[in-house]
């Protein structure tokens, strides 16, 4: 039978691949035109783990298939250095943190927002039973993320109970944050826009969740949550920082808030603000970051450093100010800049050159 020994042409392969991706009815119709080849091609498609309904849809099989495919197509000229694969394999074998912790943490953030705000739920107008289902999803992700080598079963249970108990308080605080941002920004159309679109609100929401876990002495996870918010928004808030009510970050890119920073109520920060440490040494565990009291506004680019630095209530800190000492309540701190005397285009002094240099305050 000549058809058994005749090799398939390269043109046949795409066609066969196309057949393998069709539904059962369309596949049967296409195979019926192959004559004696039909049983062999059918068997080949059934064996192929990537066709619709094949084993690729089974858990764990798809990744193995991709690994085998990658190995089969690897360049014969490339290989890991001798013994390096064994080193990596040993590290993987001894790794005891949850697999893909950043991915689980990201899912935890979205589940947290979806439970607390209808803006992030899959459906609107849902029933209380649907809320319970969203809560169950959040609790399951939290339990998975808390499966850390330094957390035993009792601590994991305690942390979960405390976290769940604080959810109403966290939500109330976030609603005040959203209202504060909407009230202070003329560009905001309302609270809904703030919750959906403002990076400052997103970073604050993640921080309030991470801070609760940090306060419960949970290792690692709060930092992963904070770093995800940093990655998404450009706002870097250490989970240890204490932040009061009605907190507003406008724009937000480049804001840095250190671990031991204490921020009062109704504080507003603009982009590029740093609340940092004056001196950084690994051994320092005391308060290293400033205290910002109630009703303070810090404008863009300002840098406030030091654990002993206290910004008094109601103070206004101008743009690009550099502060390493405390200021009393109600202060207005600004930079000043001198403007050179005016000169003509040829560089000679103008008639106004006798005027004193002008000075302005930001």
Q: What are the Cα distances from residue 256, in Å, to 182, 230, 301?
A: 22, 9, 11
Mean pLDDT of 66-89: 78
Q: Which CATH superfamily hosts domain 254-362? A: Hexapeptide repeat proteins (2.160.10.10)
Rounded distance between C-alpha atoms, residue 117 and residue 138, angstroms: 13
Burial of 156: CB neighbours in 10 Å, binned 0-12, 13-18, 19+: middle
For residue 14, what are its two tokens?
């795409």
Write the Ramachandran bin of 158: left for phi over 0, alpha for psi from -120 to 50, otherwise beta. alpha
Three-class SS state of 194? helix
Tens digit of each residue's pLDDT (9 = 90 or more) over 329-356: 999 999 875 444 444 555 555 554 444 4
* End-to-end Cα spacing for the chain: 92
Instruction: Indicate the length of the chain as a whole number.
Output: 362
- Give the 3-state secondary structure of residue 315: coil
Q: How many CA atoms lie within 13 A of 133 on its CB side?
A: 8
Hey, what's the torsion of the CAs at 215, 184, 171, 190, to 10 degrees? -150
**358 by DSSP, 3-state: which?**
strand
The encoded tokens of residue 286 equal 């005391």
Sequence-distant (6+) residues with CB within 8 A of 6 are: none
Q: Which range among 6-20, 287-301, 309-323 shows the weakest confidence by mean pLDDT?
A: 6-20
pLDDT beyond 80 at 10: no
The tokens describing 335, both together, are 């930079």
Residue ranges of the chain assigned to CATH 2.160.10.10: 254-362
Query: What is the CATH number that goes with domain 97-237?
Result: 1.10.3130.10
Q: What is the 3-state secondary structure (H, E, C) of 90-157?
A: HHHHHCCCCCCHHHHHHHHHHHHHHHHCHHHCCCCCCCHHHHHHHHHHHHHHHHHHCCCCCCCHHHHH
Q: How far apart are CA 207 and CA 222, in angstroms?
A: 8
At 98 the pLDDT is: 83
* Confidence at residue 351, expressed as pLDDT on a 0 to 100 scale: 54
Give the bridge partners for 338, in sequence order. Answer: 359
pLDDT of residue 18: 59
Q: Which residue has the higher pLDDT, 319 or 281?
A: 319
Tens of pLDDT along 229-249? 999 999 999 999 999 999 999
Contact between 279 and 307 under an 8 Å Cβ cutoff? The reply is no
For the entire predicted model, the pTM comes to 0.73
Query: Does the CA dihedral 40-42-43-48 come out positive or negative?
Result: positive
Condensed to tens digits (0 to 9), the pLDDT of residues 154-183 reads 999 999 999 999 999 999 999 999 999 999
* Mean pLDDT, rounded, for 249-262: 97
CATH 1.10.3130.10 residue spans of the chain: 97-237
Provide the β-strand partners of residue 303.
274, 322
């Amino acid at each position: 039978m000549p058809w058994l020994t005749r090799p398939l042409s390269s043109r046949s392969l795409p066609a066969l691949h196309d057949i393998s991706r069709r539904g059962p009815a369309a596949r049967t119709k296409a195979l019926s035109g192959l004559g004696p080849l039909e049983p062999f091609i059918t068997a080949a498609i059934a064996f192929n783990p990537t066709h619709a309904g094949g084993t690729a849809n089974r858990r764990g099989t798809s990744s193995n298939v991709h690994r085998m495919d990658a190995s089969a197509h690897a360049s014969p000229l490339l290989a890991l250095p001798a013994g390096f694969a064994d080193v990596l394999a040993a590290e993987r074998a001894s790794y005891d943190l949850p697999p893909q912790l950043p991915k689980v943490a990201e899912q935890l953030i979205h589940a947290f927002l979806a439970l607390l705000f209808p803006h992030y739920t899959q459906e609107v107008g849902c029933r209380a039973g649907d809320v319970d289902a969203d809560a169950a999803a959040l609790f399951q992700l939290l339990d998975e993320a808390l499966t850390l080598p330094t957390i035993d079963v009792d601590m994991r249970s305690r942390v979960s109970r405390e976290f769940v108990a604080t959810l109403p308080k966290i939500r109330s605080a976030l609603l005040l944050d959203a209202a504060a941002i909407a009230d202070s920004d003329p560009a905001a159309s309302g609270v809904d826009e703030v919750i959906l679109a403002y990076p400052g609100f997103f970073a604050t929401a993640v921080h309030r969740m991470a801070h609760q876990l940090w306060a419960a002495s949970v290792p690692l996870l709060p930092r992963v949550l904070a770093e995800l918010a940093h990655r998404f928004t450009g706002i870097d808030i250490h989970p240890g920082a204490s932040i009061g009510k009605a907190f507003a970050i406008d724009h937000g890119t480049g804001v840095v808030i250190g671990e031991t920073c204490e921020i009062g109520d109704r504080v507003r920060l603009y982009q590029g603000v740093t609340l940092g440490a004056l001196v950084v040494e690994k051994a320092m565990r005391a308060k290293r970051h400033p205290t910002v009291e109630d009703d303070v506004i810090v404008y863009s680019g300002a840098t406030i450093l030091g654990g002993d630095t206290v910004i008094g209530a109601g103070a206004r800190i101008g743009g690009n100010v550099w502060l390493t000492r405390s200021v009393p309540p109600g202060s207005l701190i600004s930079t000043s800049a001198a403007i050179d005397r005016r000169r003509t285009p040829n560089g000679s002094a103008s008639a106004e050159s006798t005027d004193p240099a002008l000075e302005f305050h930001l």
